[in-house]
């Protein structure tokens, strides 16, 4: 019987992995055990995009190519884009996924012959979704680009089995529009968060949970635990891709009250924990100390840098320190 080995391969750095290899070898653990417990590697892409007037579409298409996403994979498919639209924000555009970013991602999918591209969101704070659309500038852009929109807070719902069960919820309500989509794509904003440390592609999926079932700001899920709920939702929805708006992010008292942070990057990947871990490293945060990422790492994908092959720009060249709230409890999130 093999001894219990106290490490998590999915969160490891390269140095930690090499140490662990020595430990399992010394313990007499064989290849069969390793194949069952060692995670598969994945890839993320970082593209440099200095502002919203630059060629976002070409960067996204370059990222798709680097990630092995081909026209054949997209052609004829229904693509749902899930941006992060939190509040009516005329004076603070860094709160929400930028409208131009949404349009350019949509056009990238259209150029790959997607059958349809539609945008869907269920804001958690403001009950009037269309007020958020109008005040954020997203509504006008969607109309000009002829992009359909679905209010997920008021969509028809299906009751589905909770595939992960980090919370006590055996089933969860999901909007029926998720069944319409062949690919669900997270389009979050790169932001700090006053409860979870960071809010990125996984936390963005709070916005698929219908307000008519979970309240505002999705109170049922807050009671169950934000981090646990994030993992349950993502593990059940199984999104296909994340494309992070890191061109201008938010630091400090995110996700609403923080300050704009110019980053000039787009981050992409198929496995959302790896994408969020890469974003954390770009923000000079430690992904292994972000609770929802620790919970996801043993089920939904790796967060350790050893298991994430970096495409495009390097983390070292693009990383910038994001300010956190001036409170000792937030020091734990630092890399």
pLDDT along the chain (335 residues), means of 10: 49 55 53 55 96 96 98 98 90 92 98 98 90 93 97 97 97 97 98 96 97 93 96 98 98 95 98 98 97 92 94 98 90 86
- pLDDT reported for residue 38: 56
Structural domain contains residue 324? yes
Q: Are residues 14 and 118 in the same domain?
A: no
* Domain membership of residue 32 as a residue range: 7-38
Spatial neighbors of 331 by CB under 8 A, at least 6 apart, are: 324
Q: Are residues 184 and 305 in the same domain?
A: yes
- pLDDT reported for residue 109: 98
Q: Are residues 116 and 263 in the same domain?
A: yes
Spatial neighbors of 173 by CB under 8 A, at least 6 apart, are: 157, 158, 159, 160, 209, 210, 213, 214
Secondary structure tally for the chain: helices H, strands E: 14, 12
Structural domain contains residue 1? no
DSSP at 39:
P
- pLDDT reported for residue 28: 55
Question: In whole angstroms, what is the distance from residue 133 CA to residue 149 CA?
Answer: 10
Structural domain contains residue 2? no
Show the tokens assigned to 40.
């598969």
Q: How far is CA 235 from CA 35, 57, 126, 167, 203, in A?
A: 22, 28, 26, 12, 12
Q: Are residues 248 and 195 in the same domain?
A: yes
- pLDDT reported for residue 125: 82
Task: Output the domain CATH number for residue 195.
Answer: 3.40.50
Q: Are residues 64 and 106 in the same domain?
A: yes
- pLDDT reported for residue 2: 44
- pLDDT reported for residue 124: 86
Question: In whole angstroms, what is the distance from residue 6 CA to residue 192 CA?
Answer: 30
- pLDDT reported for residue 15: 54
DSSP at 323:
P
- pLDDT reported for residue 9: 54
Structural domain contains residue 204? yes
**Distance between terminal CA atoms of the chain?**
36
Structural domain contains residue 279? yes
- pLDDT reported for residue 238: 97
């Amino acid at each position: 019987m093999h001894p219990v080995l106290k490490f998590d391969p999915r969160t490891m750095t390269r140095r930690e992995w090499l140490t662990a290899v020595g430990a399992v070898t010394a313990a007499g653990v064989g290849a069969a055990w390793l194949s069952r417990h060692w995670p598969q590697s994945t890839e993320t892409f970082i593209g440099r995009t200095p502002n919203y007037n630059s060629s976002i579409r070409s960067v996204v298409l370059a990222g798709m190519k680097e990630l092995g996403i081909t026209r054949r994979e997209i052609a004829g498919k229904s693509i749902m884009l899930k941006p992060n639209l939190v509040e009516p924000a005329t004076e603070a555009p860094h709160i929400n996924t930028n409208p131009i970013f949404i349009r350019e991602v949509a056009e990238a999918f259209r150029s790959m012959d997607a059958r349809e591209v539609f945008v869907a969101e269920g804001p958690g704070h403001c009950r009037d979704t269309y007020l958020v659309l109008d005040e954020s500038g997203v509504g006008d852009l969607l109309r000009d680009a002829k992009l359909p929109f679905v209010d997920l807070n008021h969509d028809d719902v299906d009751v589905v089995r909770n595939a992960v069960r980090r919370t006590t919820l055996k089933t969860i309500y999901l909007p029926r529009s998720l069944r319409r989509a062949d690919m669900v794509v997270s389009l979050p904003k790169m932001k700090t968060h006053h409860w979870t440390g960071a809010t990125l592609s996984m936390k963005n999926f709070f916005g698929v949970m219908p307000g008519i079932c979970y309240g505002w700001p999705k109170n049922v899920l807050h009671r169950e635990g934000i981090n646990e709920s994030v993992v349950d939702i993502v593990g059940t929805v199984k999104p296909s891709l994340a494309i992070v708006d890191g061109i201008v992010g938010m630091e400090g008292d995110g996700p609403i009250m923080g300050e704009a942070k110019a980053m000039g990057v787009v981050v992409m990947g198929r496995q959302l924990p790896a994408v969020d871990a890469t974003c954390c490293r770009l923000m000079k945060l430690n992904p292994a100390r972000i609770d929802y990422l620790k919970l996801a790492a043993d089920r939904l994908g790796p967060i350790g840098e050893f298991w994430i092959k970096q495409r495009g720009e390097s983390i070292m060249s693009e990383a910038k320190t994001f300010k956190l709230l001036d409170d000792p409890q937030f020091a734990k999130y630092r890399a």
